[in-house]
Structure 1
């Protein structure tokens, strides 16, 4: 796929985020249980994003006396970036799944859950190191 085609596809996909009625015009109306399950998955991703964002703010605001500034900033920004990525992933995955459900296509696959798990694992190891070694400012 050319870069122009990729950008056009991305623009179309992002456009569907804000125009769900266009998704409804594709394919046929599925059993509502499938659409509602897709929505519950979307909400689970949003809850994950909120938890990561809340964790980022908690690290930044409440560990001021316990961590060196640079450690606090790195951990907070990693959590906030993870939360931001989850919000974008949530809506994009919802649209892609809804289209697949309506058109009878295979559900989309993604590497994002593995990447998110790796981010959380790395942050967990970093936080264990902070607890063990202290890294006070």
Structure 2
């Protein structure tokens, strides 16, 4: 969109796509929250000590909060950029999310491997 286009003419398809992306961030945060609860409460006690389960659950819960906050901030940044006719801002949040989930995955693999 060129800068001389009035803000009222932002294509609704882009706005809806931005909202769908926001909802994906929130859906990811909910999934991480559910995983945190599952690790702490559903993982058998003989598979991992409570401290390790609590640590994995805490990391997952913190990542869930981070993802929810990033989702809101990102949605607003993109919305403002579209309204102003600017380029969309970049983000490093996806890299942080991938690293955090991979780290929790490695811990989970370690727990499962020691339980065998």
Normalised by the length of structure 2, the TM-score is 0.89
Q: Over the residues paired in the alignment, what is the CA RMSD in angstroms?
A: 1.4
Partner in structure 2 of residue 125 of structure 1? 106
Cα distance in 2 between the residues matched to 1:70 and 1:105: 48
Deviations along 1:70-92, one digit per CA (max 9) or x if unpaired, are 10011000110011001100110
Cα distance in 1 between the residues matched to 2:106 and 2:113: 10
Residues 1:92 and 2:73 are matched in the alignment: yes
Residues 1:28 and 2:1 are matched in the alignment: no
| Count of aligned pairs | 109
Give the secondary structure class of the aligned counterpart of 1:105: coil
Shift in Å, 1:64 = 4.5
Deviations along 1:105-132, one digit per CA (max 9) or x if unpaired, are 1101111100100001111111111111
Unmatched runs of 5 consecutive residues or more in structure 1: 1-26
Partner in structure 1 of residue 82 of structure 2? 101
Off by >2 Å, runs of 4+ in structure 1: none
Normalised by the length of structure 1, the TM-score is 0.76
Shift in Å, 1:134 = 2.4
Partner in structure 2 of residue 111 of structure 1? 92
Written as runs of structure 1 = structure 2, the 5 A alignment for 1:1-137 is 28-29=7-8, 30-65=10-45, 66-134=47-115
Cα distance in 2 between the residues matched to 1:35 and 1:114: 24
Deviations along 1:6-56, one digit per CA (max 9) or x if unpaired, are xxxxxxxxxxxxxxxxxxxxx602000000000000000000000000000
